[in-house]
Amino acid sequence: MGMQNKRRTSNSHATKTQKRQAQSLDMVFEFIEKHNWKLFRIASLGFGFLIFLIYFCQNHFYPDFDLFSFLSLLATAALMGGLMVLVIAFGFCAPGWIWSEAFFNDKTISAKLEQFINRDMPKERMDHHLINRYFFAPGLLCIVAFWVALYFSNDGTAFTLGLLAAPIVTGLIFGLFLQKNYKLPRYSWAKFAIAAFLVFFIGNFVAFLSTLALVKEAPAAVKVGNGLPLMAACFFVALLVFTIITAVIRSNLRYVLIISPLIAAVLMLWSNTWVVLPGKIVNLLGLGNYQAEQVILNSDLCEKYKAIEGYGVKKNCSLNDVHMIWSMGSTTVMTWQFANQEFKVKIPSSSILSTKIYVPKAVTEPEHQPSSPPPSDPNTTQTP
């Protein structure tokens, strides 16, 4: 009796703790829903400013702005960076969302499963049971199949077996067991096989892309076993993350709106994406971080730079192979190399007459010209 009372006390305490956590999260969502537009504007401008601030700190300068152009740049940078975060977050949420919504929330299937939800097996326990047996277990088999395929074959066959064949086979096998164990409607195994194929194909693909992103930051780990141990570890961690998100989705779909962006932000931080992303956005917007084939200076600045020995200013007041760090507003920041020295200057934008942007030359095939007849020898005679 004492042990039972202790168990009841611990269970009631855990239940109260879960209720408090759920209530606190609900209060957060209520606050977000009440002030959603204000929070969106503040968060977007703050996120855009953070992106530009990282780029300015990387290059050790801070340009001058007018207010309107600066706000528009912040909004644009926030949109581009936010889209990247949302794409990564959706990649981690898609397996669990498809698994839950496409199959287990089907009316006929959910009605059958409700028959097993009773006092001995509440909904939370049923969800944990389904996730462990029909999400984590087949996902682990897909990872093992992909790893074995890469171990024995390092060509397109491995990706075909790991990304396509393994999800189909595991979906069929576990679909048959699921239909038999819970007496689901006829052909439920086929519906589960289709859902499982989408779930584990997307899951393995996202895990593979995440592994490639992490490999860039740990090139030494690739040399160990041709990178297969690192890939196995990354795939297993990704499966654990997918499983946790699936459990959150089954509990309350709204909670994923908080968890998935945090996971995406942590992954981007771990893979140093936040270091590269600001420069990419600045380059896409045409504001800087691009290569100029030639920059022509005005006469005043040209004479001053010619007087400085080693700057490499040509007679026509041009600088070749210049990297433009920032070219917006009244100030331009650029770097170039000459005589094994690198120069970095900040000059007024009005001092630049023209900028020839470097464009990779396309390889053109020589035009086919009709072959001309060989010249005739005047000493030879032609017979009619």
What digits encode the pLDDT tens for the residues 155-176?
Answer: 667 777 777 888 999 999 999 9
Q: Do 265 and 328 have their domain in common? A: no
Helix (H) or strand (E) holding 344: strand 341-348
**CA neighbor of 247 nearest in space, from 151, 239, 321:** 239
Q: Is residue 244 part of a domain?
A: yes
Euclidean distance between CA atoms 368 and 216, whole angstroms: 44
| Residue that the structure tokens 């979906």 belong to | 171
Torsion of CA 285, 287, 291, 293, to 10 degrees: 110
- 165 SS3 class: helix
**For the residues 326-339, what does the mean pLDDT come to?**
88
Across 17-26, 183-192, 248-257, least confident range: 17-26
Spatial separation of the C-alpha atoms in residues 332 and 292, rounded to whole Å: 13
Q: Are residues 309 and 220 in the same domain?
A: no
Average pLDDT, the chain: 80
- 212 near 66, Cβ under 8 Å? no
pLDDT at 43: 76
What is the residue type of 93? C
Residue 320 inside a domain? The answer is yes
**332 DSSP β-pair partners:** 347
- Tokens for 325? 């760090």
Tell whether 70 and 194 lie within a shared domain. Answer: yes
Alpha helices by DSSP H, the chain: 2-34, 36-59, 67-99, 107-114, 123-131, 137-152, 156-160, 166-182, 188-215, 219-222, 228-251, 256-270, 273-284, 299-307
What pLDDT, on a 0 to 100 scale, did the predictor assign at position 99?
Answer: 93
**300 and 227 share one domain:** no
- Per the structure, the complete domain to which residue 222 belongs is given by 35-276
pLDDT (mean) for 63-83? 80
pLDDT score for 220? 64
Flag whether 25 is in a domain.
no
189-236 pLDDT, tens digit each: 999 999 999 999 999 888 888 888 777 766 666 666 666 787 888 889
Asked whether residue 199 falls in the same domain as residue 309, the answer is no
In angstroms, the CA 113 to CA 66 distance is 61
Give the mean pLDDT of 133-148. 90
Residues 303, 166, single domain; the answer is no
Q: Which two tokens stand for residue 23?
A: 């209530």
What pLDDT is recorded for position 118?
64
Question: What is the pLDDT, as a whole number, of residue 22?
Answer: 55
The pLDDT-based confidence of 36 (bands split at 50, 70, 90) is low
Indicate if 326 and 265 belong to the same structural domain. no
In one-letter notation, the amino acid at residue 275 is: V
Do 272 and 292 lie in one domain? The reply is no
Q: Rounded distance, CA 227 to CA 215, Å?
A: 9
Q: Structurally, how many domains does the chain consist of? A: 2
Name the token pair of 27: 């209060």
Domain shared by 263 and 297, yes or no: no
Out of 85-94, 130-139, 227-236, least confident range: 227-236
Highest average pLDDT, of 47-51, 294-298, 362-366, comes from 294-298
